[in-house]
A and B are shown apart, each in its own frame.
Chain A
Amino acid sequence: MARYLVHRVFGMLVVLFLVSLFTYMVFFLLAPDPAVQICGKTCTPERIDQIRANLSLDDPFLVQFLHFLQGLFLGRDYGTGASAVHCSAPCLGYSFQSAQSVTDMIVQRLPVTAVVAIGAAVLWLLAGVVGGLISAVREGRFTDKFITSLTLGGMSVPNYVLALVLQYVFVVWLQWLPFPQAVPFADDPAQWFLNFILPWTVLAVGYASSYTRLTRANVIDTLGENFVRTARAKGLRPDLVWRRHALRPALTPIVTIAGMDFAGLLGGALITESVFGINGVGKLAADSITKNDQPVIMAVTLLAAFFVVVGNMAVDLLYSAIDPRVRVGAAS
């Protein structure tokens, strides 16, 4: 077990290192000169040189990349002499646009994204598991066909289209929900909650649809197993057969996928957050991309990769905990 863990953590670090190296390289090679960008309209060659020196943009690629890594783990200093700025670990640099610390920007926005992701996950798990179970129990009948066609629809509507449609129907037309605006939780919890209903729903619909299909397939599989027949033969109530015997084994793969999807969402739901104007990591990513704010793009890419990789590992460990047939040590 310990050996397996060390192995996994090492592999995780390698992947993260490669992701950061690759992203850094792409920006180093492709992006327009950030010094020119920071300098703005009233720009002199001397000023550009000064900025380049401050950000040490003249260093070769590998040196810059090592400085970036150093900042991440140990902190680093920008500039020299009296104008030097110390940025303590984990240092992700300063935004080219607002000169804010990127670490601060992310720390500020991560809770918002977490709220979006958690709410959506609760919704899609509930809808997916319940819908899938009902569909499986009624296999081949009208309810099953209805739910299955709903899921196909749910998987096909792009989430920004759904976002616009729902926003138009519920906010503009029926006026059941207030116009979305950022309200701190402490000021007005009800308003805060209402603001998140649409984003949660929009995010959850696609996932809920695929979870329904997956649950349905798994439950139908287990319903054909011998132990279910035994449970039925001994006269167990049907709802108990479904809940205890059919659903439980069918949930294991759901947990796996849910873990990974959730981890993916923590990296930011770009489209949904942008459409609803939620100030989370996803909107930060979208904004920084339109403004070509490289340190921020670099940071959000790394953050998203981090969540995906950690999520993968967590899921593997969790999997061996729920399903005794899988022993992590033996798998590799």
Chain B
Amino acid sequence: MSISSTELEAAGAPETGALVAATDPRRSVWHTLLRDPSAIACLVYIGLVIVMALAAPLIVKVSGWDPYEFDQTAIDPNLGGIPLGSWGGISAEHWLGVEPQSGRDIFARIVYGARASMLIAVSATALTTVLGVVFGLLAGYFGGRTDMVISRFMEFLMAFPALIFMIAVLSALPADNRQYLLVLVISVFGWPYLARIVRAQTMSLKQREFVEAARASGASRTRLVFTEILPNLRSTILVMVTLAVPGYIGTEAGLSFLGVGVVPPTPSWGQMISSSVSWYSVVPTYFLVPGTFLALLVLSFMVLGDRVRSAVDPGGR
């Protein structure tokens, strides 16, 4: 094992920062975030999208249109079904305009689309985190053959052209239960990136005195892994999770954009953008609305991830 000392150093660096904040890491992260205006703005927007996703049926009742309802009066059949009025048919009736051709309400579809995006991204993140942490801990703690098998498997998964393969698999599988399949496929290709980092940190943590002390005092293996090593990985996992969510939101939207994601008529932001491609020059609001919502959501999570990282690890970048 002549893995360069730089790797161990790099792995060890964040955790010294975590130890400084270890008095009560959760509270101090919150405190730092709540003093930062841009982090607050991001939290507010993310909260808004979550509320939209959770309360979609209620919100749609207030706005008056169902996401699946066709409104022939809002479009002009003589012009190929482009929305009546400027700005894609934005009016008091349809807050964000209507879809060309069908006249479905874009606001309602955005609200329901938030459901698909958040649900898939959050579940995929949860599954990836569990897989990544478990396999990373196993490989890092036990080393030897276990490590070799897991590491080779991770290398194999990372060499896979994930996007093409995801699309190929999703297009070959039947379209019912697409949501679950999406989560599964995204997670299968996503966990090695977290596991790799958890593994490296575990390897350096298990050499530390406090772990040795626990081992000498007769702690069981499970106890060592779960109460000595895992708590020290908390900040790493927190940062990785906040950065994983925007990645998966983008992946879901991308897959829906390519036609293998959420199945129509269920709306998703990526799919809305996809169907707006043929209209982009005539009805620009049709892609601008979901595009803005999507880009802002990803941006919010990115900025938040960035801030969380500097909150848990003030020295690093």
Mask, A285-315, CB within 8 Å of B = 1, is: 1100110100001001100110011001000
Residue A220 CB within 8 A of the other chain: yes
Chain B residues positioned under 8 Å from A304 (CB to CB): 161, 164
B313 smallest CB distance to A (angstroms): 13
Residue A112 CB within 8 A of the other chain: no
Q: Is the CB of B168 within 8 A of A164?
A: no
Please, how many angstroms separate the alpha-carbon atoms of A168 and B254 in the complex? 20
Across the interface, A164 reaches (CB within 8 A) one of B161, B277, B296, namely: B277
Q: Is the CB of A156 within 8 A of B317?
A: no
Residue B167 CB within 8 A of the other chain: yes
Mask, B261-287, CB within 8 Å of A = 1, is: 000000000100110110011001001
Please, how many angstroms separate the alpha-carbon atoms of A305 and B168 in the complex? 14
B157 smallest CB distance to A (angstroms): 10
The 7 A-B pairs at the shortest CB distance, nearest first, are namely A304-B161, A156-B299, A161-B291, A156-B298, A30-B172, A31-B172, A172-B281
Residue A158 CB within 8 A of the other chain: yes
Residue A23 CB within 8 A of the other chain: yes
Q: Is the CB of A164 within 8 A of B156?
A: no
Please, how many angstroms separate the alpha-carbon atoms of A274 and B165 in the complex? 17
Give the contact-size bracket for chain B: 35 or more
A136 smallest CB distance to B (angstroms): 10
Q: Which of A124-171 contact B (CB under 8 A)?
A: 152-153, 155-158, 160-161, 164-165, 167-168, 171
With contacts A19-B160, A168-B281, A331-B2 taken as known, whether A158 is within 8 angstroms of B295 at the C-beta atoms is: yes
With contacts A220-B317, A270-B258, A330-B2 taken as known, whether A161 is within 8 angstroms of B295 at the C-beta atoms is: yes
With contacts A152-B302, A156-B302 taken as known, whether A164 is within 8 angstroms of B291 at the C-beta atoms is: yes
Residue A196 CB within 8 A of the other chain: no
With contacts A156-B246, A268-B164, A304-B164 taken as known, whether A15 is within 8 angstroms of B156 at the C-beta atoms is: yes
Chain A residues positioned under 8 Å from B161 (CB to CB): 264, 267, 301, 304-305, 308
Query: Which residue of chain A has its CB nearest to the CB of B301?
Result: A156
Please, how many angstroms separate the alpha-carbon atoms of A152 and B33 in the complex? 18
Across the interface, A297 reaches (CB within 8 A) one of B168, B253, B281, B287, namely: B168
Mask, A158-194, CB within 8 Å of B = 1, is: 1011001101100110000000000000000000000
A300 smallest CB distance to B (angstroms): 6
Please, how many angstroms separate the alpha-carbon atoms of A171 and B281 in the complex? 9
Q: Is the CB of B165 within 8 A of A301?
A: yes
Q: Is the CB of A290 within 8 A of B291?
A: no
Q: Is the CB of B317 within 8 A of A161?
A: no
Q: Which of A39-60 contact B (CB under 8 A)?
A: none
Q: Is the CB of A270 within 8 A of B167?
A: yes
With contacts A30-B172, A271-B257 taken as known, whether A312 is within 8 angstroms of B291 at the C-beta atoms is: no
Across the interface, B172 reaches (CB within 8 A) one of A152, A165, A292, A305, namely: A292
Please, how many angstroms separate the alpha-carbon atoms of A175 and B164 in the complex? 34
Interface centre among B4, B172, B259, B302 (most CB of A within 10 A): B172
15 contacts between A and B (CB under 8 A): A18-B156, A23-B165, A23-B168, A31-B172, A153-B299, A158-B250, A167-B280, A168-B287, A270-B167, A270-B258, A271-B254, A286-B258, A289-B171, A292-B172, A331-B2
Q: Is the CB of B172 within 8 A of A27?
A: yes
Please, how many angstroms separate the alpha-carbon atoms of A264 and B158 in the complex? 11
Number of A-B contacts (CB under 8 A): 120
Across the interface, B159 reaches (CB within 8 A) one of A153, A157, A216, A312, namely: A312
Q: Is the CB of A168 within 8 A of B284?
A: yes
Please, how many angstroms separate the alpha-carbon atoms of A216 and B306 in the complex? 15
Residue A275 CB within 8 A of the other chain: yes
Residue A26 CB within 8 A of the other chain: yes
Please, how many angstroms separate the alpha-carbon atoms of A165 and B281 in the complex? 10
Residues of B within 8 A of A (CB): 2, 4, 155-156, 159-161, 163-165, 167-169, 171-173, 246, 250, 253-254, 257-260, 270, 273-274, 276-277, 280-281, 284, 287-288, 291, 294-296, 298-299, 302-303, 306, 317
Q: Is the CB of A168 within 8 A of B280?
A: yes
Residue A217 CB within 8 A of the other chain: yes
Interface centre among A157, A161, A164 (most CB of B within 10 A): A161
Query: Which residue of chain A has its CB nearest to the CB of B290?
Result: A161
With contacts A27-B172, A289-B168, A330-B2 taken as known, whether A271 is within 8 angstroms of B258 at the C-beta atoms is: yes
Chain B residues positioned under 8 Å from A305 (CB to CB): 159-161
Q: Is the CB of B171 within 8 A of A292?
A: yes
Q: A157-B298, A220-B317 provided; 18 other pairs, C-beta below 8 A?
A: A15-B159, A26-B169, A30-B173, A158-B250, A158-B254, A158-B291, A164-B273, A167-B280, A168-B280, A264-B161, A267-B161, A268-B164, A271-B257, A289-B258, A300-B164, A301-B164, A301-B165, A304-B164
B9 smallest CB distance to A (angstroms): 12
Q: Is the CB of B254 within 8 A of A289?
A: no
With contacts A27-B172, A286-B258, A290-B171 taken as known, whether A152 is within 8 angstroms of B299 at the C-beta atoms is: yes
Please, how many angstroms separate the alpha-carbon atoms of A270 and B172 in the complex? 18
B298 smallest CB distance to A (angstroms): 4
